[in-house]
Amino acid sequence: MQFANLQLVWLTALIPVFGWMIYAMASRRNRRLNDEYGESRLIERFSQPLSRKRLALKAVSFSACLACLVLALARPTVESGRSEFPMGTIDVVALVDVSRSMAVPDYKGKLPEPFKAGRRLDMAKYLVLNELIGSLNYNRLGVVTYAGSAFPQAFLSDDLPALKWVLSRAVSVGSAPGEGSELAKAFELAFTLFDLDSGRGHRRVIVLFSDGGNDSSLDDINAVVSELQKRDIDLIVVGLGKTQPSAIPSDLLSQQDQYFNGGKPWYEKDGQIVTSRLEENTLLLLKNKVQGRYVRVEEAKDFSMTTMVSRMEVKYKHGQYEFFPWLLMAAFGFFVIGLLAVSERKPRAIKKKPQINAKSDKGGPVK
């Protein structure tokens, strides 16, 4: 048997003292009441006092009730061989660029609904929702979106259906704060997610979905590389977009960007149409320095998580049978017994002297 809060079990050593205190206090109260209201011999004749056995039963019942409550809080469990729960050993954090450049429709006509617009971000979401989540059975996934700053879109979790629901609705162009693409900030937040929730002995993987845009300094990137090596984190880099420059359509940006762009068909800055293309230099630099993997995505089939990560391990943990509800029921039962532990003895009946019917000389009863 195992206890989740083993230190609480030691409190059960004080329960006999608690029971003795209940018995002593109840006995003292019983005697005091008898002394206040008259002579004990007469009171016991016409009342229902608590006997010593009933007082002892009351003390034992309340003590057992307290013992059950303490043990319930200690959460005792035993291993149950009848069921096993799969437990993944890989923790993955996906970094997704949501800056304006990710709105370029380089994949138009290559993705199904609801990704038919074919933006770079649409391809990233499609790969996360279908390829990444689809191959992480019982392992855990976290998602960080980034632009000028990083945002924790989802902490590490093995509830993959819930992650699908969140990511399909919450990840959009401009959903992270700031301007530009601060790649180093995204990695720093990923390290924080691992520190918070990644289990000891788990394999850690970062999957970067980016078109290569980066506003972090070279020193910041080198610091990221050092941290990846020190933490022994696997890196997979997914390059999105075409190598030819393309303009950014305004209607594929956020409503705020469309408003400030003044209804122009292409996104402009300082009167110039902004273009974007896949910049592989930074992505390849990261990949080479940490001995990672890199794939340029032209079609959705180009990226396969199972080929990128060869050891998609799943261990099985024995099921546990918990006694918590049974201990609560037992505590309630002992509490009821303690409340009902009162004397059921009826008051002594007063014996009446027999009446003698004397007869008169005439044969009738004496009046």
pLDDT exceeds 60 at position 223: yes
Q: 300 or 347: which carries more pLDDT confidence?
A: 300
Same domain, 103 and 250: yes
Q: What is the mean pLDDT of the chain?
A: 80
Specify the pTM: 0.62
| Number of CB atoms found within 10 A of residue 343's CB | 13
| Domain membership flag for residue 201 | yes
316: confidence class by pLDDT, cuts 50, 70, 90: low
Q: 89 or 130: which carries more pLDDT confidence?
A: 130
Among the candidates 294, 312, 330, a domain finishes at: 312
What pLDDT digit, counting tens, does each position of 49-83 carry?
Answer: 556 677 777 778 778 888 888 888 888 877 665 44
Q: What is the pLDDT of residue 165?
A: 87
Spacing of C-alpha 6 from chain mean position: 22
Q: Highest mean pLDDT: which of 21-25, 164-168, 217-221?
A: 217-221
Q: Is beta strand 140-146 parallel, antiparallel or unpaired with respect to 150-157?
A: antiparallel
Same domain, 241 and 299: yes
Q: Highest mean pLDDT: which of 52-56, 60-64, 233-237, 306-310?
A: 233-237
Q: What is the pLDDT of residue 142?
A: 93
Structurally, the chain folds into a number of domains equal to 2
What is the average per-residue pLDDT within 342-362? 51
Please, what is the end-to-end C-alpha distance for the chain in angstroms? 84
132: confidence class by pLDDT, cuts 50, 70, 90: confident
Same domain, 66 and 163: no
- Comparing CA positions, the residue from 194, 36, 21, 159 lying closest to residue 88 is 159
Same domain, 168 and 287: yes
Same domain, 336 and 304: no
pLDDT exceeds 90 at position 96: yes
Same domain, 36 and 114: no
Handedness of CA 47, 48, 53, 54 (dihedral sign): negative
| Domain membership flag for residue 97 | yes
| Domain membership flag for residue 359 | no
Among the candidates 312, 330, 352, a domain finishes at: 312
Q: What percent of the chain has pLDDT over 90?
A: 32
The two structure tokens encoding residue 122 = 């649409």
| Domain membership flag for residue 356 | no
| Domain membership flag for residue 178 | yes
| Domain membership flag for residue 143 | yes
Q: Each residue of 262-273: b (16+ CB within 10 Å) or e?
A: eeeeebeeeeee
What pLDDT digit, counting tens, does each position of 168-218 carry?
Answer: 888 999 888 888 899 999 999 999 999 998 878 888 999 999 999 999 999
| Number of CB atoms found within 10 A of residue 188's CB | 18
Place of tokens 């990949």: 287
What is the average per-residue pLDDT within 101-116? 90
| Domain membership flag for residue 350 | no
Same domain, 148 and 283: yes
Identify the domain containing residue 332 by its residue range.
2-80+320-340
What is the average per-residue pLDDT within 221-235? 93
Q: What is the pLDDT of residue 13?
A: 78
Q: What is the pLDDT of residue 288?
A: 92
Same domain, 165 and 33: no
Same domain, 44 and 150: no
Q: 290 or 342: which carries more pLDDT confidence?
A: 290
233: confidence class by pLDDT, cuts 50, 70, 90: very high
pLDDT exceeds 60 at position 326: yes
Give whole-number Cα distances, 111 to 120, 172, 223, 258, 355, in Å: 11, 16, 36, 24, 111
The CATH number that applies at residue 226 is 3.40.50.410
Are 249 and 122 within 8 A, CB to CB?
Answer: no
Same domain, 259 and 117: yes
Detail the DSSP E strand segments found in the chain.
2-3, 76-88, 90-97, 140-146, 150-157, 203-210, 234-240, 246-247, 268-269, 272-273, 275-276, 293-297, 314-322
Same domain, 25 and 71: yes
Q: What is the pLDDT of residue 98?
A: 93
pLDDT exceeds 90 at position 8: no
Are 143 and 91 within 8 A, CB to CB?
Answer: no
Render 196-226 in DSSP notation, one character per residue.
Answer: HHPPTT-EEEEEEEE-S---S-HHHHHHHHH
35: confidence class by pLDDT, cuts 50, 70, 90: low
| Domain membership flag for residue 20 | yes
Q: Give bridge partners of residue 273 from the DSSP assignment.
A: 268
86: confidence class by pLDDT, cuts 50, 70, 90: low
Same domain, 44 and 105: no
